[in-house]
Chain A
Amino acid sequence: MSIVLQSPSRKASRVNAFIGRAFSRPSFVIGFAILALSIALALFPQLLAPYDPLAFDLSAIQQGPSLAHPFGTDNFGRDVLSRVIWAYRVDMQMAFFATIFALLIGVTVGAFVGYYGGIADTIFGRCVDAIITFPFLVLVIAIVAVLGPGLINMYVAITAVNWVYYARLTRAEIMAQKSNDYAAAGRVLGYSDRRIIFRHLLPNAISPIIVYWMTDMALAILLGSSLGYLGLGAQPPAAEWGVLIAEGRNFLLTAWWMSLMPGIAIVLTGLGFSLVGDALADLLRPKGR
């Protein structure tokens, strides 16, 4: 009977082993630490930010980094550190919401066209060709321009373009997995197409998609802050790194910290996603052949 009870614990031990291997990699540990901190900052900025990010202090305008204001203050005397911290909330949200719908839509579409092929695949191919002929940013900006600026519209615009990349990746992965005999075995065993796609093929195809998602979240932050900088994304006075950089652009010589500090936050968070993504790519690579 012990055998019957073994299954869940074996799975748990596999998960534990995976976590163990992950944390024995310095790159994963660093990346994970950065992301964990970023998420904490995004969830609890009120606890961690020393000042109100919106409070003007006209007595302390454009002060350089000091003990009281480690990142300095801006042209309205607002604490840059607090603004950068509050921006985590918006930017981490952006990383997530600008990608998650693209991922869900893209994976579903890609899985179906990859599995069924035929006409659907041909139509999909045309769609992809149409969308990727435009540079990503140009297309997104065009859509935002039509919908109007703002975070939600930015998510819609990015998703409308970005799902194609997930779908393309998923399609290729599913097609490769489909040629394996276990997919044929599933058909001979009388399993439904949905079961074969979602229980058999997708779990085997998902790793590169997850890895891509990690890098894509880093890109989404870059993209979101670029749009914020251009005034098409998050709107001032909301704290968002792109917006913060934009606010500082006229004072680059006199108050460089206004733009540099949010810039560092972008680079650091992007690095966190990339490190975790790279480590996952290694860890998830199938073994045992």
Chain B
Amino acid sequence: MSQSIHQAATPLLAIRDLFMRFEKRRSLSDTLAGRPRQVVSALNGVDLDVMPAETLGIVGESGCGKSTLARCIAGLNRPTSGDIRFEGESVIDLKGARRRGYNKRVQMMFQDPYTSLNPRMTVRDTLREAITVHRMREGAGIDRRVDELLDLVRLPDGAADKYPHEFSGGQRQRIGIARALSLEPTCLVADELVSALDVSVQAQVVNLLLELQDSLGLTVLFVAHDLRLVRHVSHRVAVIYLGAIVEVGPSEALFSRPMHPYSQALLAAAPSLDPTARRRAPALSGELPSPLDIPPGCPFHVRCPHAAERCRQEKPALRPVGHGMTACHFAETIGGA
């Protein structure tokens, strides 16, 4: 499947029919009673292209598989089935030197500023380690590169020899960015990079990311649940529900005119800054079904206000609708395209 709007370019990352299942541990009584293992279906056939130098936003409720997707791309989880191709080559089974080569190109940044840095290493140790393991620089060049990186992420002079606990949350995330950039990657996976930060600090980090991306020509996967931020930073946005992409398209088009009922509900539920746009009824009722037991047919049908008989039977495929792609049988009518 190819994404119509980007037919011209070849994708940097092509994700095809990606499944990720986590088997839960069976308790002894379950084993004795012969009950089958419970399986968490975190990803259920994700199809997604990431274009060079774009920012692709990924949004969805928590537990719908955003982090799992990010970790599969970064090579932290091995998907159960499906394929991830980077510049045309499958990266699922990479080992040793080739895995390191891939990770040099694709780096990841984490959500939690408090646990994503080794508390016993100074910033310099952390950066030096990455630079030396990958032989990015030699000798005195290493420390010069450390200073360069800290400059790049706007950390003050003298930051290099401090320990993580001496920094604020926003500064720690900058260190995380510097660490990822130390390998001079092409692609950054940012899993909720600013979610844990104070509102007044989020904008600083987002600005930094935007600037770095433009100056270094980076491709960014921006995983977040703050829709306003995702809209602002992304060229394209993918909406994920229960481990599958339900809609993907250019950011402005998707936000101004979502086609999938779930995207519509998600956007409506996000608190807007317009005090006149008040609603009495919630935008979406019900909760995310358990990933242990994904509904058949359209996974959204249990909460969808437009659900029809067909939705309970047949899983809608992700297909071109309007400016992007949508996985809904009735997208044209519902989205008004």
Asked whether any CB of A lies within 8 Å of a CB of B in the complex, the reply is yes
Q: Which residues of A line the B interface, CB within 8 A? A: 3-4, 6-7, 10-11, 180-182, 184-191, 195, 199-200, 203-204, 286-289
Residues of A within 8 A of B161 (CB): 3, 6-7, 10
- Nearest to A182 among chain B residues (CB) is B118
Question: Which residues of B in the span 148-191 have a Cβ within 8 Å of any Cβ on A?
Answer: 157-158, 160-166, 176, 179, 183
Residues of A within 8 A of B122 (CB): 7, 10-11
Residues of A within 8 A of B179 (CB): 185, 189
- Nearest to B118 among chain A residues (CB) is A182
Partner of B143, one of A4, A191, A199: A4
Given contacts A181-B116, A190-B99, contact A7 B124 (CB under 8 A): yes
Name which of B103-111, B271-279, B312-320 contacts chain A: B103-111
The answer to whether B103 touches A190, judged by C-beta atoms less than 8 angstroms apart, is yes
The answer to whether B117 touches A187, judged by C-beta atoms less than 8 angstroms apart, is no
Q: How far is the CA of A181 from the CA of B109 in the complex (A)?
A: 9
Residues of A within 8 A of B75 (CB): 187-188
The answer to whether A289 touches B165, judged by C-beta atoms less than 8 angstroms apart, is yes
What would 15 A/B residue contacts be, using CB atoms closer than 8 Å? A7-B125, A7-B160, A11-B122, A181-B115, A181-B116, A182-B117, A185-B176, A186-B118, A188-B75, A188-B76, A189-B183, A190-B183, A200-B121, A288-B119, A288-B165
The answer to whether B108 touches A185, judged by C-beta atoms less than 8 angstroms apart, is yes
Residues of B within 8 A of A184 (CB): 71, 76, 108, 110, 116
The answer to whether B114 touches A289, judged by C-beta atoms less than 8 angstroms apart, is yes
Task: Please give the distance in Å from B143's CB to the nearest CB on chain A.
Answer: 5
Q: How far is the CA of A157 from the CA of B27 in the complex (A)?
A: 36
Residues of A within 8 A of B116 (CB): 180-182, 184-185
Task: Please give the distance in Å from B162's CB to the nearest CB on chain A.
Answer: 8
The answer to whether B110 touches A189, judged by C-beta atoms less than 8 angstroms apart, is no
Task: Please give the distance in Å from A143's CB to the nearest CB on chain B.
Answer: 32
Query: Can you list, as one digit per residue, whether each of B123-155 has a CB less than 8 Å from chain A (1) or not (0)?
Result: 011000110011000000001000100000000
The answer to whether B107 touches A188, judged by C-beta atoms less than 8 angstroms apart, is yes
Task: Please give the distance in Å from B76's CB to the nearest CB on chain A.
Answer: 5
- Nearest to B140 among chain A residues (CB) is A4
Residues of A within 8 A of B76 (CB): 184, 187-188
Partner of B130, one of A4, A189, A288: A189
- Nearest to A1 among chain B residues (CB) is B143
The answer to whether A180 touches B115, judged by C-beta atoms less than 8 angstroms apart, is yes
Q: How far is the CA of A199 from the CA of B104 in the complex (A)?
A: 20
The answer to whether A190 touches B104, judged by C-beta atoms less than 8 angstroms apart, is yes
Q: How far is the CA of A186 from the CA of B112 in the complex (A)?
A: 15
Judge if B35 is at the interface, Cβ distance under 8 Å. Answer: no
The answer to whether A204 touches B119, judged by C-beta atoms less than 8 angstroms apart, is yes
Residues of A within 8 A of B228 (CB): none
- Nearest to B159 among chain A residues (CB) is A3
The answer to whether B160 touches A3, judged by C-beta atoms less than 8 angstroms apart, is yes
Judge if B26 is at the interface, Cβ distance under 8 Å. Answer: no
Task: Please give the distance in Å from A194's CB to the nearest CB on chain B.
Answer: 12
The answer to whether A188 touches B74, judged by C-beta atoms less than 8 angstroms apart, is yes
- Nearest to B183 among chain A residues (CB) is A189
The answer to whether A181 touches B160, judged by C-beta atoms less than 8 angstroms apart, is no
Given contacts A188-B76, A191-B133, contact A182 B124 (CB under 8 A): no
Residues of A within 8 A of B115 (CB): 180-182
- Nearest to A179 among chain B residues (CB) is B115
Q: How far is the CA of A200 from the CA of B163 in the complex (A)?
A: 14
Q: How far is the CA of A3 from the CA of B148 in the complex (A)?
A: 13
- Nearest to A190 among chain B residues (CB) is B100
Residues of B within 8 A of A6 (CB): 158, 160-161
Task: Please give the distance in Å from B191's CB to the nearest CB on chain A.
Answer: 9
The answer to whether B147 touches A181, judged by C-beta atoms less than 8 angstroms apart, is no
Task: Please give the distance in Å from B208's CB to the nearest CB on chain A.
Answer: 18
Task: Please give the distance in Å from A136's CB to the nearest CB on chain B.
Answer: 28
Query: Can you list, as one digit per residue, whether each of B256-300 has a CB less than 8 Å from chain A (1) or not (0)?
Result: 000000000000000000000000000000000000000000000
Residues of B within 8 A of A289 (CB): 114, 165
Judge if B120 is at the interface, Cβ distance under 8 Å. Answer: yes
Residues of B within 8 A of A188 (CB): 74-76, 103, 107-108
The answer to whether B157 touches A3, judged by C-beta atoms less than 8 angstroms apart, is yes
Q: How far is the CA of A195 from the CA of B118 in the complex (A)?
A: 13
- Nearest to B162 among chain A residues (CB) is A10
Among A187, A189, A200, A288, the most chain B Cβ lie within 10 Å of the Cβ of A189
Q: How far is the CA of A246 from the CA of B143 in the complex (A)?
A: 63
The answer to whether A3 touches B147, judged by C-beta atoms less than 8 angstroms apart, is yes
Task: Please give the distance in Å from A127's CB to the nearest CB on chain B.
Answer: 19
